[in-house]
Amino acid sequence: MRAGAEALMQERDRLNRLDADIGDGDHGANMARGFAAAVERLNGAGDALAPADAMRSVGITLLSKVGGAAGPLYGSFFIGAAGALRDRSADAVDAAAWADALDAAVAGVQRRGKAQAGDKTMLDALFPARDALRAAVGDSVTLADALAASAEAADAGAEATVPLLARKGRASYLGERSIGHQDPGATSSALLLHALAQTWKRPSQ
Ligand code: ADP
Ligand code: MG
Tens-of-pLDDT digits for all 205 residues of the chain? Answer: 999 999 999 999 999 999 999 999 999 999 999 999 999 999 998 778 999 999 999 999 999 988 889 999 999 999 999 999 998 998 888 899 999 999 999 999 999 999 999 999 999 999 999 999 999 998 888 999 999 999 999 999 999 999 999 999 999 999 999 999 999 999 999 999 999 999 988 654 4
Q: Which CATH number covers residue 55?
A: 1.25.40.340
The type of residue at 118 is: G
Instruction: For a ligand 1 pocket test, name from 62, 119, 170, 178 the mutation site with the most ligand atoms within 8 angstroms of its C-beta.
Output: 170
Q: Is the dihedral of CA 79, 85, 86, 89 positive or negative?
A: negative
In our burial notation (b when 16+ CB lie closer than 10 A, e otherwise), range 160-173 reads bbeebbbebbbbbe
Q: How far apart are CA 83 and CA 157, in angstroms?
A: 25
109 falls within a domain:
yes
205 inside domain:
no
State the pTM of this model. 0.96
Which is the closest atom of ligand 1 to the Cα of 123? 25
Amino acid at 135: A
Residue 19 CA: nearest ligand 1 atom is 6
Q: Kindly report the number of other CB atoms within 10 A of residue 111's CB atom.
A: 10
Q: Is residue 113 part of a domain?
A: yes
Taking a C-beta distance cutoff of 8 angstroms, is the pair 169, 69 a contact?
yes
Task: Supply the range of the domain harboring residue 194.
Answer: 2-200
Question: Please, where are the H alpha helices in the chain?
Answer: 2-10, 12-22, 27-45, 51-65, 70-85, 95-113, 123-138, 143-159, 184-201
- Domains in the chain: how many in total? 1
In a domain, 54, yes or no: yes
Q: Which atom of ligand 1 is nearest to the CA of 26?
A: 6
**How remote is the CA of residue 174 from the centroid of ligand 1, in Å?**
14
**Is residue 137 a part of any domain in this protein?**
yes
Amino acid at 55: M
Domain assignment present for residue 34? The answer is yes
